[in-house]
Amino acid sequence: MQGFFQSVISQFETQAEAVETFRSGKGRPWGDHSTCCFCGTDRFFRPGYEACLIDQWIPALDGVEAKLKAGAKVADIACGHGSSTVLMAKAYPDSTIHGIDFHEPSIIEARAKAAAAGVTNVEFQVASAQDFRGEDFDFVCIFDALHDMGDPVGAAAHIRKALRPDGSFMLVEPLAGDNMADNLHPLGQIFYAFSTTICTPASLAQDVGLGLGAQAGQKRLTEVLNQAGFSNVRRATETPTNMVLEVTG
């Protein structure tokens, strides 16, 4: 929760911009926030990844854990400060994990985090989800970031092209029901608040500007993934805060 409060503070640090963004509806780039927002986001999500990613989420996918143990080519798209990238690099030393994000200051942090952890099976790239370099990936994942993208359909279509035919895509998104009424509980309200000041403006500031929002729900996310060409979307598992979708085809 300390990371959560750090993110709240980041919004007060630039309150005038937040108010103007809300009034104008024009969007606000992710990189426009104070650094406290990026650290707070990493600190808020990291404990969930540490608790679940290696022990629960990856084992819940069809055949992925065995590939990662044997040595696979993996991409962690929109990796932010790279906590998930480093966790996978440590757990699967024979795999190479490519951490990709369009926000250069975050990639600088991610490189430092990987160096501090002593992992060498990572490669980082400053690039957008719609045009990152690389092909023949066995496994691609996105943690709490698809809804921040302006063109999530374009991003998912690019991921599909970059995957091997037998590859799979794990999409982790905030847990949400398909109707707004399902989300009007304390956690959903927190997500809606951050979505209004950070996630939706970040999407609107990019090309296409779909503005999915942090409470899109599985039905809407499935539409996006189907539009990108993926035919199978399955909820592999969930936690009290996240849904984990296995996307193939």
Ligand X SMILES: C[S@@+](CC[C@H](N)C(=O)[O-])C[C@H]1O[C@@H](n2cnc3c(N)ncnc32)[C@H](O)[C@@H]1O
Which residues, in sequence order, are bridge partners of residue 235?
Answer: 245
Nearest approach in angstroms of CB 30 to ligand X is 5
3-state secondary structure of 154: helix
In the 8-state DSSP scheme, what is residue 49?
H
Partners of 141 in beta bridges: 76, 170
Is the torsion defined by CA of 121, 124, 129, 130 positive or negative? negative
Looking only at residues 202 through 221 of this chain, which bind ligand X when binding is defined by CB under 6 A? 202, 206
> Interaction with ligand X in 157-186: which residues (CB under 6 A)?
none
Total residues at interface with ligand X (CB under 6 A): 21
- Tokens 């990796």 correspond to 79
Phi, psi angle pair for 84, to nearest 5°: -70, -35
The DSSP call for residue 61 is: S
Q: Which is nearer to ligand X, 26 or 66 (CB)?
A: 26
Cβ proximity to ligand X, 3 vs 232, nearer residue: 3
The site string for ligand X over 4-33 (x = CB under 6 A, - otherwise) reads --------------------------x---
CB of 183 to ligand X, least distance (A): 18
What mask of x and - would describe binding to ligand X in positions 53 to 82, judged by CB under 6 A? -------------------------xxx--
Q: Which residue of the chain is nearest ligand X when measured via CB?
A: 80
Q: Using the rule CB under 6 A, which residue among 33, 73, 98, 103 binds ligand X? A: 103
Tell whether residue 88 is a contact of ligand X (CB under 6 A): no
The one among 106, 195, 197, 222 contacting ligand X by CB under 6 A: 106
Question: Which tokens is 119 given?
Answer: 């992992």
Q: Give yes or no for residue 129 binding ligand X (CB under 6 A).
A: yes
Judged by DSSP in three states, 173 sits in strand
With CB under 6 A as the contact rule, the residue among 145, 159, 170, 171 that binds ligand X is 145
Say if residues 99 and 36 touch (Cβ distance below 8 Å): no
Long-range contacts of 180-188 (CB under 8 A, 24+ apart): 180/215, 182/217, 183/215, 183/217, 187/240, 187/241, 188/215
Q: Which parts of this chain interact with ligand X (CB under 6 A)?
A: 30, 41-42, 45, 78-80, 83, 101-103, 106, 128-129, 143-145, 148-149, 202, 206
